[in-house]
Copies of this chain bind each other. A is one copy, B any other.
Amino acid sequence: MAIRDIDDLPKNKANYTALTPLWFLERAATVHPTRKAVVHGSRTYTWLQTYQRCRRLASALAKCSVGAGSTVAVIAPNIPATYEAHFGIPMCGAVINPVNIRLNASTIAFLLGHSQCAIVIVDQEFFTLVEDSLKIMKEKSQGHFNPPLLVVVADEACDLEALRYALGQGAIEYEKFLESGDPDFAWKPPQDKWQSIALGYTSCTTASPKGVVLHHRGAYLMSLSNPLVWGMNEGAIYLWTLPMFHCNGWCFTWALAALCGTNICLRQVTAKGVYSAIAKHGVTHFCAAPVVLNTIVNAAPEDTILPLPHVVHIMTAGFRVTHTYGLSETYGPSTICAWKPEWDSLPTDTQARLIARQGVRYTTLECLDVISTKTGEPVPGDGKTMGEIVMRGNIVMKGYLKNPKENEKTFANGWFHSGDLGVKHQDGYIEIKDRSKDIIISGGENISSVEVENSLCFHPAVLEASVVARADERWGESPCAFVTLKPEVNKSDEQWLAEEIMKFCKSKMPAYWVPKSVVFGPLPKTATGKIQKHVLRGKAQQLGPVKLRKL
């Protein structure tokens, strides 16, 4: 019955081109050439100007032999140059590597070396940081060091002294660099949609950061689905509180071009900055980590403009309070806790419980499930059985750069393994319970370190707490709590306090979940404020195993 003709029509130049978000910029420049594309302080660039600046950048890079296979690092806050880099760098065929500006010199040295960075575009504020990184690289290189070209951005309120210093060190000023490029540069879309567009390193909660490689196709699909799931319309006005260096601003960089919207830059996120941008530019949307929301909500009255002149949509991701959830490995958010009208009439605490879940897959993520870590089979939708959250689809990264071992693990059995543990509810919504590497296995039972931590935080003396596994002669592992006490707490009798806290836990959780050891002190954190559990694990190891107690 079947005929082959229907599938035999070939691809050709007219009906097939690699999916890439670069076309969005060309379109925005055609459709809305005079509309504001990027606003930063007193500077405004239209979409036509932005397109021309990006083509100049691509051209200037190409003149420096940057092209397919090259990596260009960007170390800068949310300023126009960072936005332009998201188009200009891929337009010459290269890969953008936006670097977290809060990292230290030695980590940056590692990233620049690992990515074989050809050029660094750096904001003048961070020039000496990059210089320090290059020194470290040179020292380690034993004479074979070929330093990358430095392009320094002189932002508004620029420290002229610092800029002069940078130029003295051989750096090229960004606007000069653009001038050397052709505004009509004939950029080409990638030959293959699988071509890489971006490289981003996972945050340094572990010892060696992994380089997540993203491709044009995924960035394109993410750009289309972000506005779709969020109801962001054409011409949206987007405030950059989320750093663009975080997973390319969850691909909102490219999405804004697809929407022909307006990017409002913000060099530093302050409550005042956010409120005045909303009032001045008519911001319709922004994304924010919980800590940013906190800043906004708890702002001093003189920094706020209330009531707001219009409704502003906020997308937030974080742990436990999320509406969206995702990883660098999935181009940013890849699940969304889709709200249902029938929830409107539920009690507030039920609503809070429902919305705290990570939810359902993005439109462009093809599969999302929770699978048993033992059998690999999907867990039942009972809201109880824990398993690993896994994903499959076109907004999953290509893989980690130069890391075949991790890639094998991460892509085992045709799933992307998020490393997060969770449950699946009856309605199909998933909910995170823990990071899989943070899970504690005691007597063969899983203990969610997150749940123990959450309970600990209810104790009146506890400021913050982190729980890791400690070896245990009887149970294999048992929970070990690291606790920072509130400043006002009398810390003279730590033994008594530890017992108090354990007693408190006993009233809140199964006995085997109760930490068998409590250690007081400040918690080690990364530059971005995440607790470094691997450091705590090291400390727990130094404590030795919990001894078998005769009962």
Write the residues of chain A forming the contact surface with B, with a CB cutoff of 8 angstroms. 1-7, 9-17, 19, 23-24, 27, 30-34, 65-71, 95, 115-116, 118, 189, 194-196, 199, 213, 221, 224-225, 227-229, 231, 233-234, 258-260, 338, 340, 342, 360-361, 363-364, 366, 391-394, 396-399, 401-402, 407, 411, 414-416, 427-428
Contacts and interface: CB of A to CB of B under 8 A. Distances in A.
A16 B192 CA distance: 14
B7 A68 contact: yes
B24 A414 contact: no
A160 to B, nearest CB: 32
B6 A213 contact: yes
Nearest to A225: B224
Contacts of A68: 2, 7
B118 A258 contact: no
A283 B2 CA distance: 40
A234 B231 CA distance: 7
A24 B363 contact: yes
Shortest 9 CB-CB contacts between residues of A and residues of B: A2-B69, A13-B414, A9-B399, A9-B398, A15-B396, A14-B416, A231-B233, A30-B428, A224-B224
Contacts of A14: 391-392, 396, 411, 414-416
A393 B17 contact: yes
B213 A116 contact: no
Contacts of A9: 196, 213, 398-399, 401, 407
Given A12-B411, A30-B360, 18 more contacts: A1-B70, A1-B118, A4-B69, A6-B71, A9-B196, A9-B401, A13-B411, A13-B414, A15-B392, A15-B394, A31-B428, A32-B338, A32-B340, A33-B427, A224-B224, A224-B225, A231-B234, A234-B338
A194 B363 contact: no
Contacts of A392: 13-15, 17
Nearest to A189: B366
A426 to B, nearest CB: 11
A3 B116 contact: yes
Most chain B beta carbons < 10 A, residue from A4, A5, A416: A5
A398 B15 CA distance: 7
Given A227-B228, A360-B27, A3 B399 contact: no
B17 A394 contact: yes
A399 B234 CA distance: 31
A12 to B, nearest CB: 5
Contacts of A224: 221, 224-225, 228, 363-364
A228 B69 CA distance: 33
24 contacts: A1-B70, A2-B70, A3-B70, A5-B402, A6-B71, A6-B196, A7-B194, A9-B398, A9-B407, A11-B194, A12-B414, A15-B398, A19-B221, A23-B366, A30-B360, A31-B338, A33-B428, A189-B366, A221-B224, A224-B224, A224-B364, A228-B258, A231-B233, A233-B233
Given A2-B69, A234-B229, A360 B31 contact: yes
Nearest to A16: B394
Contacts of A115: 6
Contacts of A225: 224
Contacts of A34: 342
Given A17-B392, A227-B228, A6 B95 contact: yes
Nearest to A361: B27
A330 B288 CA distance: 38
A99 to B, nearest CB: 16
Contacts of A17: 366, 392-394
Contacts of A67: 2
B3 A71 contact: yes
B213 A363 contact: no
B396 A7 contact: no
A3 to B, nearest CB: 5
A341 B15 CA distance: 33
Contacts of A360: 27, 30-31
Contacts of A228: 224, 227-228, 234, 258-259
Contacts of A234: 228-229, 231, 338
B15 A399 contact: yes
A157 to B, nearest CB: 32
Contacts of A361: 27, 30
Given A13-B414, A227-B228, A396-B14, A195 B338 contact: no
A1 B117 CA distance: 8
A199 B6 CA distance: 8
